[in-house]
Chains A and B, each alone.
Chain A
Amino acid sequence: MKLLLLALRRLAASLPALVLILVGLFLLLQLAPGDTVDALMAQMGGGDAAIAADLRRFYGLDLSVAARLGAYLWRLVTLDLGFSAIYGKPVASVILERLPATLLLMMGALFFAFSFGMALGVVAARRVNQWPDTLISTLGLIFYATPSFWFGLMAIVLFSVYLQWLPAGGFGDVAMGYTGWAAIWDTATYLVLPVLTLALIFLAIALRIMRASMLEVQGMDFVRTARAKGLSETRIVARHVLRNALLPMVTLIGLQAGTMLGGSVVVESVFTLPGLGRLAYESVVQRDLNTLLGIVFVSALLVIAVNFVVDLLYARLDPRIVG
């Protein structure tokens, strides 16, 4: 119960921040030269001024900034995200269509980065300053230093162009029209490369944090006590060291969830995944304010949700936090 209250308090605190972000973004985008009709004109390759004036009326751009901001906030109160200029349908349904790809990518990458990061970190810490540690740390450094778009493109060149093991991009083989398990398997093959690409940099961070925090906990008194009790090494690592070393890792998950949403723009572009990142980029270029604000809103909800789960995990790992 206490935990729930804590979480609710957090949630209430994030509401004003959300409103501030939305209003700030709205005003910031007014500073960008050009509006969605200019973007449309660029796409069309020209048109006369009467058409442009007509379209501005159509998109409600002939109103003042204050009037549009007011209307937007009022709609938001009624949970209406508005209408997307570039997609010609409600923003909510546009975002809903893009959410699965982003969620799969993000969850897959988070899972991969933290499970492997944790395992590698543990191995490195157990063999500190021996060859496995050096190897793992060097690999981590390489992953961390490589830009993800380059990594993605190289993965495509190797696995798709030369070896032809995996598809180069997309989100399922549209031409074949698979259903059921075949479709799931098909989608999975399309997700392997993007998930790995997005995960590697986070894996590097996770393994370094895990290694450091394992080393720190290993030297603590209670571990020496456990050893003195005659517990087996495996049990010490699993029950005592790991559990305590996991706290910073869990914090990291909460922090990285937001970063990952940002990083997915690059990965989604390289692998042509229909996700929120690419949608956000497209909305900026096309000056589709409603869609962009909708994405910010949904992303904020996602980050809040992840942090809520992190709070729950904290409590499970370290009951003192709730108390």
Chain B
Amino acid sequence: MSGPTRREVFLMSGAAMVPASAIAQETPRRGGILTVHFATEQRILNPSLQASTGVYIVGGKIQEPLVDLDAAGNPTPVLAESWETTPDGRAITFKLRQGVTWHDGRPFTSADVQFTAMEMWKKILNYGTALQQFLTAVETPDAHTAVFRYERPMPLGLLLRGLPDLGYISPRHVYEGTDIRQNPANTAPIGTGPFKFVQYERGQFIIAERNPNYWRNGMPYLDRVVWRVVTDRAAAAAQMEAGQILFSPYSSLALADMTRLARDPRFEVTTRGNEGNARTNTIEFNFRKPELADIRVRKAIAHAINIPFFIENFLGTYAKPGTGPIPSVSADYYTPGSPQYGFDRALANRLLDEAGHRRGAGGVRFSLRLSPAPWGEDIALFATFIQQSLVEVGIRVEIVRLDAAGFLRSVYNDHNFDLASGWHQYRSDPAVSTTVWYRSGSPQGAPWTNQWGWTDAAIDQVIDNAATEVDPARRRALYADFVTRVQTELPVWMPIEQIFLSVFNRRLRNAGNTPRWASSSWHDTWLAS
């Protein structure tokens, strides 16, 4: 490639950034239409029923959670004004905001919280069902107090970190007595948020307009938000350049296009505002394959892959080597010092020799099938890189490509794979969606869970203890222990850490100012002329 390398381009984009102080001094301008790239159309838009970035990007502006994350990443009040827990962690009380109304004019009360928690989070919401597994009741002593009762201790920190994603409230009066999955409000949501749902044309666009009765006085600044459904990534980049789209979230453009746009002074390509959405690239081992059940072979595979080289040449500066299942952006639970597997081809060869896999004809020791997940360009690149790296140590790799439904079915249900590679998404607390990758006992077919044919009773015990430990320091120690153990056993290797990229048109102000900004309500976002 002639001209600047990808790394240089990313650095240049940083240098060209407008200083934060300059933005802060500007007076917000009212009005304007924010057009947003909507790459993954969803079946529903209600975030109390489906936890995914594709739902938050729309539903998160219309409905609101009890708490969100502030700029520093700490829980901040939204529909809940304050919270407290009993020392045993079995009752957590939320004081709710008063004077909030739904978009249809009805008042927001604790009955809405009770209904949403018991009927949606506990029964339907993915990850919510696990988080609220031991929730027995939500009591409503008055219209603005909700008491969550738990059968087993619920760490307050875990609940508060889970709620920004898994704590959206739906209106009881709209859903009660209906078939919740079929309710028309699922695709025409009614919320308390800064924007009111207007129209959804499948395959084309979604429109929401300013909520004049929003509880934060004088907000939002924008008149409308329009989401444009664009599935072709090259077309989305062109629309970005033509000004038809002002914001593309969650790394939805092609890497090459983002590199190009980062060089253009009209755009900003950044991880800012996505810190709460960290992910790690995985290599998942199937222990039903005898070779892979041997720890020496798993370690050899890890030692055979030059992660820093891959990152530097394919992913640019927004990725970095990962050290385990808990990424470094997790201030509370990240603990360095667990066993690591640096690039060492000689060691890899030695380990494979020791394991009794001698090189046969053509220098091949044995063959493996690798199933890469179909989401994300980086996974496809990584799969090829794994293939090329492993052939050097005598392991022949055949890449088996499938689409999303096929990948999930063959890996997590049929266990028809040797190696799989995809993303593990870290959601603020290891108990939300990380420990399920290691805990035994997940039913067959549950995606992104331990389906490796591997169990470790000691690790199961640590996971269970941590999930109900109410003392923050002890919890932290348990997770440090957990990371060390899984890095030693290596049922899944998570060698790369990444954060989603946002592409902003520089007319956007107050964009990316919280760690889950793309999912948040955008009440203070405005457009410069």
Contacts and interface: CB of A to CB of B under 8 A. Distances in A.
Contacts of B54: 43
B286 to A, nearest CB: 16
A269 interface: yes
A19 to B, nearest CB: 27
- Among B186, B224, B445, B448, max chain A CB count under 10 A is at B445
Contacts of B244: 167-170
B405 A32 contact: yes
11 contacts: A33-B402, A33-B406, A34-B406, A38-B408, A52-B446, A98-B203, A153-B235, A161-B242, A170-B228, A174-B207, A175-B35
A38 B44 CA distance: 16
A207 B523 CA distance: 56
A72 to B, nearest CB: 19
A221 B405 CA distance: 63
B153 to A, nearest CB: 21
Contact of B43 (A43, A49, A170): A43
B231 A175 contact: no
Contacts of A58: 181
Given A46-B127, A175-B33, A278 B375 contact: no
Contacts of A310: none
Interface in B21-78: 33, 35, 40-44, 50-54
Nearest to B234: A153
Given A50-B129, A272-B228, A272-B230, A87 B124 contact: no
A51 interface: yes
A35 B409 contact: yes
B127 A47 contact: yes
Interface string B489-518: 000000000000000000000000000000
Interface string A10-35: 00000000000000000000001111
A287 interface: yes
B98 interface: no
Given A33-B405, A49-B446, A51-B126, A88 B238 contact: no
A44 B129 contact: no
Interface in A266-288: 269-272, 274, 278-279, 282, 285-287
Given A41-B447, A42-B405, A87-B202, A47 B239 contact: no
Interface in A34-63: 34-36, 38-52, 58
B487 interface: no
Interface in B187-243: 187, 201-205, 207, 224, 226, 228-232, 234-235, 238-239, 241-242
Contacts of A272: 204, 228-232, 235, 239
B237 to A, nearest CB: 9
A119 interface: no
Nearest to B126: A47
A49 B244 CA distance: 41
A64 B442 CA distance: 25
A168 B238 CA distance: 7
Given A42-B408, A98-B203, 18 more contacts: A34-B402, A34-B409, A38-B404, A38-B413, A42-B405, A43-B54, A45-B126, A46-B127, A47-B447, A50-B129, A52-B446, A88-B44, A168-B242, A169-B235, A174-B204, A175-B226, A285-B405, A286-B405
A46 B405 contact: no
Contacts of A48: 126, 129-130, 442-443, 446
B240 to A, nearest CB: 9
A46 B126 contact: yes
A216 interface: no
B529 interface: no
A243 to B, nearest CB: 42
A159 to B, nearest CB: 9
A318 interface: no
Interface string B115-148: 0000000001011011000000000000000000
A174 B226 contact: yes
B375 to A, nearest CB: 7
Q: Residue among B226, B239, B443 with the most chain A CB within 10 A?
A: B239
A8 interface: no
A243 B410 CA distance: 58
A279 B231 CA distance: 11
A45 B235 contact: no
Contacts of A169: 230, 235, 238-239, 244
Size class of B's contact patch?
35 or more
A153 B257 CA distance: 13
Contacts of B446: 46-49, 52
Category for how many chain A residues contact B: 35 or more
A302 interface: no
Nearest to B184: A88
A33 to B, nearest CB: 4
A-B pairs, top 4 by smallest CB distance, nearest first, are: A34-B405, A47-B126, A49-B443, A34-B409
A160 interface: yes
Contacts of B405: 32-36, 38-39, 42, 285-287
Contact of A41 (B42, B408, B442): B408
Contacts of B126: 41, 44-48, 51
Contacts of A153: 234-235, 238
B413 to A, nearest CB: 8
Contacts of B375: 42
B403 interface: yes
B409 A40 contact: no
B166 to A, nearest CB: 12
B414 interface: yes
Nearest to B44: A88
B224 A175 contact: yes
B208 to A, nearest CB: 12
Interface in A65-95: 85-88, 94
B121 to A, nearest CB: 12
Contacts of B226: 174-175
B235 to A, nearest CB: 5
B404 A42 contact: yes
B52 A44 contact: yes
Contacts of A157: 238
A115 interface: no
Given A38-B404, A285-B405, A44 B50 contact: yes
A171 B203 CA distance: 10
A171 B204 CA distance: 7
